[in-house]
Amino acid sequence: MSSRGHRSPRIVVIGSINMDLVVRCASIARPGETISGQSLREIPGGKGANQAVAAARLGAQVTMVGRVGDDAFGQTLRDGLSREGIDVNHVQITAGCGSGVAVIQVDDAGQNSIVVIPGANGLVTAEDVLAAASVIREADAVLLQFEIPLQTVQAAVDLARHSGVRVIVDPAPARADVAAAVLSADWLCPNETEAESLTGLVVETEEQACAAAKMLRQRGCVRSLITLGSRGVVLCAGDGMLQRADAFRIAAVDTTAAGDAFAAGLGVSLSRGASDADAVRFACAAGALAATKFGAQPAMPYLREIESLLGDQPRAAVLQPG
């Protein structure tokens, strides 16, 4: 892993870039049901881009690797990342292809339902990863998700691990067809649904989450951490010990990108040299703050907001034996 000194952490995010079409509604439509929505907004999103924006707002030097289409959304999305201070030299505009789009319903309780159309995200290749190899080798952490082809995720994990660079994989959206090598990340951070998909185990209680975390670590990742929303997180640490962390007390408005803020917070904090416990606490604060705002990228928190929350709730999210 590269030596940081006192410079800002260097984070490379390899993943999806979407335009989110967000519908606010009283309740999420059930199959066959037609409901009236309250509003429709176009908001930049995509799990990869969300994580890149979050990391940049937390003070990291961020490079984004991905693709957008040559449609009207593509340039808007690329320009938005650039305005956040993110290096977009490895964000390619793909000819003859639409940009990724996510259609999101958000209800009055802040819960969401999401349909993703991959568009150009489905064309991110291992060659794109290799084209960014020099940046990846100099990074303090690489962040990955599953909204791009799994073989591309695989190539990125292999390159980063071979280069001694920390790898954090957010295995979302949930899928079961995951190669073993993808699970060899330093940190694997699914939520309950994603953990169920990866392990085949039911994950509804904290005890079940601990069992799933332990299984994931046995399958090859160095640390497996399962996020449980308002119930906090469980971690199977590098030494195999199970630990838990409490969530921060917040009023949820929109949980759409809370997991993305969590992953970015974890990567930035670890890259600054924080302990696992402090990094998880920082990540929990980032995820909590993202859930208090509407939208994806607009909800990504700034460092000063996290520091304020950590000061207000100093005992929250401290890892304890599970």
Active-site positions read: 260
Closest alpha carbon to 233 in 192, 184, 187, 193:
192
Q: Beta strands 233-236 and 61-69: pairing type? A: unpaired
Assess contact for 284 and 232: CB atoms under 8 A: yes
- Residues written for the chain: 322
Distance (Å, rounded) from C-alpha 215 to C-alpha 198?
10
Assess contact for 229 and 191: CB atoms under 8 A: yes
Assess contact for 44 and 76: CB atoms under 8 A: yes
Closest alpha carbon to 200 in 191, 212, 210:
212
Closest alpha carbon to 69 in 46, 103, 38, 41:
46
- Residue tagged 């995200």 (tokens): 121
Closest alpha carbon to 129 in 109, 149, 107:
149
Assess contact for 90 and 131: CB atoms under 8 A: yes
Distance (Å, rounded) from C-alpha 288 to C-alpha 294?
12
Tokens of 11: 């984070």
